[in-house]
Amino acid sequence: MKINYQKSEVFGIGITDEELEGAANIFNCDFVVWPMKYLGLPINKSKPKKKNFEEMVCKIEKKLASWQNSQLSYGGRMVMINSCLSSIPLYTMGVFALPESVCKKIDSIRSQFFWEGIGKKKKYHMISWQALSAPKQMGGMGFMDVRAMNQALLGKWIYNIERGQEGTCYTVMRNKYNLSKGVLQADMNKGSYFWKGLNKSKMWVRLGCGFEVGAGTKTSFWHDVWDGDTPLKTRFRELFEGCRNNNLAIAETVKMVQENTLFRRSLRVGDLDNWKDLSAIIRRLEGGDGSDQIIWLINKKGFSSKSIYDMIVFRGVIDVDSMIIWKCGLPMKVKVFTWLMLKDRIQVGDQLRRMNWRGDPHCKLCGLDETVDHLIFECGLARMLWVFVVENLEWPLHALNRRSFMEMMGNLRDNRKKLISIQVLGAIACTLWLTRNEHIFRNKICTNAFQVVHKLIAFLTQWLQLVPARLKEETSRCFDLLRARLRQLVQQDVHPASDVTS
């Protein structure tokens, strides 16, 4: 292989600029000034600064600029954020722990795009980015949490080093940081920026992994999971606290047991039973040899960055019903709108007033306070739609507000009924919202209740093609019922509810 000097560059560490230039002259090639870029990543002599990540941030901004002319709905923007914007920093995040200021910048670009689109006009951000970044099954919108994803991707390095992954990069790291005791026991507070960046992820890998013990040189006796499914420090809390050194590997601890130097004090009467159990565990270790093997306990399919990510963003409670909205057959923009509506975060008068908006916060139809519950459930027009739907579909409860609707959903055992209910809620909310906006922005006043019911049924029919195949028949039957009922009412010229504006 021949070196192409015109395409090569020389860079130096610990030498003067003159010496570097001299070296470059010898080879007749260019020299590099720090920071440089290697495989698209910023490499610096010292800790990378915020400005070293500017190129990556610019890439995100450029991507946005290329959508300049597209008029995207909330749903469209959500898809664009998930499929394009969030993936741009992934490559860099797989190597470096991003500085907090860079994470904030990425969040702010995505948040601004979600709420305001591309235009220059300032718009209200109705809910915090943090809440939007919660996973969908925990009631969020599932936007990527940059910090968590960063730690999850870095966690892969730790797992791979520990698992004995081969490769020059891993060999260099094992030798440089002397990892004979295993990477989880290593001190990551000293070393390169990359190395220190792995420190936070170490905690998450440790939480999710266990060990098959060989010679016991890499596994922490007290902190790692290697017998049962909890670390011994949790099972034998008192013994752990009485230990002379509780940061040692299994082999070292066992040696201390043999030498009778494990504890700082003599065991109390209450400790004896625990000590008997712990001794039995230690006896089972006898004769173990070979390397300790890391195993991933969180996911049966084995280790993945995604499973660390899921562990980091898990917020304690899974809300099954909050997933229904993302699974039903509504267009994405209506799903997002319905999600925001259920969170009380659409721009109704009451919400805008809280944001110091100066306009009239009252309902245009009846003059009462325009809250989400009022607009979607309580106002005359809304009540008429709900009565029409609930009576004709024989629903178990008249939805009075968001809470009672969600309660009704919670009481439904059949998942298919839940999906149809949320489909209808989305269509009713969308119909009412458009009717309200036509009134406010185009001064089109709805005088005929049939028009609104027609609009609702048109939406339901149009969106039927989005309904999952296994539900289509049942959903279609429900909507046929509504359509037939409306036709009947029109023929009899009876309005669905007598007084719309009450």
Strands 9-10 and 41-43, sheet pairing: unpaired
Q: Residue 326 has which token pair? A: 């993302």
Return all residues near 394 (Cβ < 8 A) that are at least 6 apart: none
Secondary-structure percent of the chain, ordered helix, strand, coil, rounded to 5:
55, 5, 40
Query: In the bound complex, what is the minimum distance in angstroms from residue 502's beta carbon to Zn ion?
Result: 10
Between 106 and 379, whose beta carbon lies closer to Zn ion?
379
Please identify, using beta-carbon distances, which residue of 85 and 379 lies nearer to Zn ion: 379
Strands (E), 215-320: 293-296
Of 247 and 501, CB closest to Zn ion: 501
Residue 225 vs residues 210, 232, 240, 407: alpha-carbon distances, Å: 5, 7, 14, 41
| 20 vs 366 by CB, closer to Zn ion | 366
Closer Cβ to Zn ion, 379 or 457, answer by number: 379
Question: Rounded to the nearest whole angstrom, what is the least distance from the CB of residue 363 to Zn ion in the complex?
Answer: 3
Q: At its nearest, how many Å lie between Zn ion and the CB of residue 380?
A: 6
Q: Within the chain, what is the greatest distance between any pair of CA atoms?
A: 97
Beta partners for 255? none
CB of 348 to Zn ion, least distance (A): 10
Residues in the site for Zn ion, rule: CB under 5 A? Answer: 363, 365-366, 379
Q: How far is the CB of 393 from Zn ion (least distance, A)?
A: 24
Q: Which is nearer to Zn ion, 251 or 382 (CB)?
A: 382
Query: What's the CA gap between 458 and 461, in Å, rounded?
Result: 5
CB of 495 to Zn ion, least distance (A): 17
Smallest distance, Å, CB 368 to Zn ion?
A: 5
| In contact, 78 and 132? CB cutoff 8 Å | no
Q: What is the rounded CA–CA span in Å between residue 241 and residue 223?
A: 12
In contact, 125 and 111? CB cutoff 8 Å: yes
Contact 347, 361 (CB under 8 A): no
Distance, CA of 247 to CA of 143 (rounded, Å): 38
Which of 242/361 has CB closer to Zn ion?
A: 361
